[in-house]
Amino acid sequence: MRPAGDTIFAVSSGRGRAGVAVVRISGPAAGAVLDQMAPPRPKPRFAAFRTVRHPATGEMLDEALALWFPAPKSETGEDMAELQVHGGHAVVQGVLAALGSIAGCRLAEPGEFARRALENGKLDLTGAEGLADLIEAETAAQRRQALRQAGGSLFRLYEGWRQRLIGAMAQLEAGIDFSDEPDVAADTLKTARAEVAALTGDIARHLDDGHRGELLREGFHVVLAGPPNAGKSSLLNALARREVAIVSDEAGTTRDVIEVRLELEGLPVIISDTAGLHAAATGKVEQEGMRRTVARARAADLVLWLIDVSAPPAAVPVGIAAKADRTLVIANKMDLLASGVLHPLPAGAIGISVLTGDGMDHLARRLTACVRARIGESEAPVLTQARHRQQLERCMAPLTSFLGSPIGEVELRAEDLRRAAHALGRLTGAVDVEDVLDQVFSRFCIGK
Ligand SMILES: Nc1nc2c(ncn2[C@@H]2O[C@H](COP(=O)(O)OP(=O)(O)OP(=O)(O)O)[C@@H](O)[C@H]2O)c(=O)[nH]1
Ligand SMILES: [Mg+2]
């Protein structure tokens, strides 16, 4: 990361030709930039119409709306300025070049605005992650979750827990102070212990959420598997409403895994079409394709096992059957019913015909219900990333040790609580987190 004392600037609106481009400037020289390029400096937080000029040559670059946000009431917590210029390439490049010619000003790195906001206490780490998710959100439910997190829902939860731990630590200390009054000391230690037990329960419940937040953030993985020629690729195309995968009456058409992202009632779903599974695979490519299918199916959140009603029923292979609670059996080609070559449907199978569209609505409803049951959407804050889970587990370990050890060893118990509080602090960035910052902010684009 480059020097923090610099004034940084970047185009914060989208790339490419557009009606308007928003150029943001943050840092100690932000006010001087307005004075030099778009005088006079507007009233704080009011938009003003200004002529934008090159600070050295005086050449007119554009007419724009200018805004001035003096510190600390700005997004980064520093002095900030904003120029809303016309979005043409030459205008934007001209303004950026002019900004770059001012001493102490340079182009921002990806995520640098958000990072400064974090350093100035305008944002915590989970809020920054929520912001990055908001920019990447593809579905309505993802947007709502990211917005709640960016708005501080996780921060309030985790910081609240940290404060409770700090309270329990104070109780322990008080226990030491009252060591010459054994009754009082025993009481304070008991209070501390009860508080830690309650907190441990809260964290355990939060962790035991079936990965809802993570599933919503990353997408629910559905794998289409089944014997060759059952119509898996046809079904994928029907669900995606476009020709994504090749369909043919030749068995073994699909060799590799093909993925499509869909939105089902606002929930993100990733459907993978796979190579058909059958016992007699001989070719190397075919065997590799089948190995990939089984691997995918095992990692899936839901398997759609598709069979062809006109062929002898294919049992769900052992590797996949282990996930029976996450498998829906679908019998395709029900239109062939008329030709009378049908085999009995497995119990509970959903009958469809991709060809005629029969049963497809029913399948879509069942699929949506499965996704909704697993992801749902809760108003209560949910953890959304493996980082949160890992850090909370690091917090739980010393808490468990605390509850399982003699409270009389006050110094050791206090150390347990300190370690747990530290883990929570790393979650929100309340304690030193230099090492995780680069990882979090590398996901941002320039201008954010
Ligand atoms: N009659 C009928 N034919 C279907 C139906 N769905 C798919 N087919 C046909 O079944 C054949 C196989 O379809 P695919 O979608 O390629 O099957 P697949 O399961 O992807 O096959 P592989 O990739 O080889 O494993 C094609 O000729 C399709 O047109 C259906 O509902 N009814
Ligand atoms: Mg196929």
In the predicted structure, residue 445 carries a pLDDT above the cut 60: yes
- Per the structure, the complete domain to which residue 269 belongs is given by 218-375
- When pLDDT is averaged across residues 280-304 and rounded to a whole number, the result is 84
Same domain, yes or no: 102 and 176: no
Distance in Å, CA 336 to ligand 1 centroid: 12
In the predicted structure, residue 222 carries a pLDDT above the cut 80: yes
Q: Look at residue 1 and tell me if it is in a domain.
A: no
Query: 36: pLDDT confidence band, cut at 50, 70 and 90?
Result: very high
Distance in Å, CA 261 to ligand 2 centroid: 17
Q: Look at residue 101 and tell me if it is in a domain.
A: yes
The predicted model scores a pTM of 0.78
Going by C-alpha positions, the residue among 84, 4, 108, 20 that lies closest to residue 447 is 108
Q: Look at residue 63 and tell me if it is in a domain.
A: yes
Same domain, yes or no: 233 and 367: yes
Choose one of 121, 137, 159: the last residue of a domain.
121
User: Could you tell me if 330 and 298 are in contact, meaning their C-beta atoms sit under 8 angstroms apart?
Assistant: no
- The strands making up 80-86's β-sheet, listed across from edge to edge, are 48-53, 60-69, 80-86, 20-26, 7-11, 105-107
Same domain, yes or no: 198 and 316: no
Which ligand is in closest contact with the Cα of 253? 1
Determine the pLDDT at residue 5.
84
Mean pLDDT rounded to a whole number for the chain: 89
In the predicted structure, residue 184 carries a pLDDT above the cut 80: no
**Higher model confidence: residue 180 or residue 101?**
101
At how many degrees (to 10) do helices 153-177 and 140-150 cross? 40
Which ligand is in closest contact with the Cα of 226? 1
Q: Residues lining ligand 1, CB < 6 A?
A: 228-234, 247-249, 251-254, 275-276, 332-333, 335-336, 353-355
Same domain, yes or no: 37 and 64: yes
120-152, pLDDT tens digit by residue?
989 899 999 999 999 889 988 899 999 999 999
389-421, pLDDT tens digit by residue?
999 999 999 999 999 998 878 889 889 999 999
Determine the pLDDT at residue 3.
60
- When pLDDT is averaged across residues 42-49 and rounded to a whole number, the result is 97
Same domain, yes or no: 339 and 227: yes
Determine the pLDDT at residue 417.
93
Determine the pLDDT at residue 281.
66
Whose CA is closest to atom 21 on ligand 1? 229
Number of domains in the chain: 3
Distance in Å, CA 369 to ligand 1 centroid: 26
The CATH number that applies at residue 146 is 1.20.120.430
Same domain, yes or no: 358 and 222: yes
Going by C-alpha positions, the residue among 273, 275, 263, 327 that lies closest to residue 298 is 327
Query: 381: pLDDT confidence band, cut at 50, 70 and 90?
Result: confident
Choose one of 87, 121, 155: the last residue of a domain.
121
State percent of the chain over pLDDT 90. Answer: 59
In the predicted structure, residue 436 carries a pLDDT above the cut 90: no
In the predicted structure, residue 326 carries a pLDDT above the cut 80: yes
The CATH number that applies at residue 80 is 3.30.1360.120
**Residue 325 and residue 223: Cα distance in Å, rounded?**
14
Q: In this structure, which residues have their CB less than 5 angstroms from ion ligand 2?
A: 232-233, 253-254
Determine the pLDDT at residue 313.
77
Determine the pLDDT at residue 271.
95
Distance in Å, CA 264 to ligand 1 centroid: 24
Pairing assessment for the beta strands 60-69 and 48-53 based on DSSP bridges: antiparallel
Q: Look at residue 380 and tell me if it is in a domain.
A: no
336-355, pLDDT tens digit by residue?
877 766 677 788 899 999 99
- When pLDDT is averaged across residues 299-315 and rounded to a whole number, the result is 88
189-206, pLDDT tens digit by residue?
888 999 999 999 999 999
Which ligand 1 atom lies nearest to the CA of residue 306?
19
Choose one of 121, 147, 166: the last residue of a domain.
121
At how many degrees (to 10) do helices 112-119 and 434-441 cross? 150
- When pLDDT is averaged across residues 65-90 and rounded to a whole number, the result is 96
Determine the pLDDT at residue 355.
95
Distance in Å, CA 370 to ligand 2 centroid: 24
